[in-house]
């Protein structure tokens, strides 16, 4: 049986910055059977476009399951919290996105206030996100990340719930911490 993990991320396919942090997280903190787990990023090109990715997600699921009847897919949507604590529209957006994920059986992963705050400890200007993510990977800065920051249950600055997702148990990952 194979397992495809589809990570739907806010960034675009040119930058791929969010995917760099997420993939490094998986590589750093989990051991998994590389022959039976497939990672597939889907790029939203802006978080407001999440519902528009359903066709692409369904196509990827269909393609993967067509290669073997035992293949399964798990969908994980990843969102920045942005200013959820001061802007009503950001708070409402997160509620709607989480409801969408729950309704569709997808995991809802958040990064507070954004993915760069979690992994770099600061906000990064949009034009510099790709360079900073590449630098993070090249310098293996994932080694400096406190894994406790990745398993929060409620929003808190510079934290995430990425380790709380059901995907991690479904992939039969063995946590290295």
Q: Report H helices in the chain.
A: 17-29, 54-66, 88-104, 115-120, 129-138, 166-170
Average pLDDT, the chain: 93
Q: Tokens 């360079």 map to which residue?
A: 131
Band of pLDDT at residue 174, cut at 50, 70 and 90: very low
Band of pLDDT at residue 165, cut at 50, 70 and 90: confident
Report cis status (omega within 30 of 0) of the bond before 99.
no
pLDDT tens for 9-18 read 999 999 999 9
Measured CA to CA, the distance from residue 71 to residue 90 in angstroms comes to 36
pLDDT tens for 93-133 read 999 999 999 999 999 999 999 999 999 999 999 999 999 99
How high is the pLDDT of residue 173? 52
Cβ(118)–Cβ(163) below 8 Å: no
pLDDT tens for 24-40 read 999 998 888 888 999 99
Measured CA to CA, the distance from residue 73 to residue 16 in angstroms comes to 21
* Phi and psi at residue 75, to the nearest 5°: -105, 130
């Amino acid at each position: 049986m194979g397992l495809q993990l589809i990570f739907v991320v806010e960034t675009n396919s040119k930058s791929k910055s969010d995917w760099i942090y997420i993939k490094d997280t998986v590589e750093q903190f989990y051991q998994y059977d590389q022959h039976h787990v497939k990672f597939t990023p889907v790029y939203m090109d802006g978080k407001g476009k999440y519902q528009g990715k359903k066709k692409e997600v369904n196509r990827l699921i269909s393609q993967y399951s067509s290669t073997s009847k035992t293949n399964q897919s798990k969908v994980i949507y990843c969102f920045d919290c942005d200013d959820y604590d001061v802007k009503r529209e950001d708070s409402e957006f997160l509620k709607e996105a989480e409801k969408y994920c729950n309704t569709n059986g997808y995991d809802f992963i958040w990064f507070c206030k954004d993915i760069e705050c979690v992994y770099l400890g600061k906000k990064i200007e949009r034009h510099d996100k790709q360079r900073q993510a590449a630098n993070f990977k090249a310098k293996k800065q994932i080694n400096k990340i406190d894994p406790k920051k990745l398993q929060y249950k409620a929003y808190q600055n510079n934290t995430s719930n990425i380790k709380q997702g059901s995907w991690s148990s479904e992939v039969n990952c063995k946590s290295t911490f």
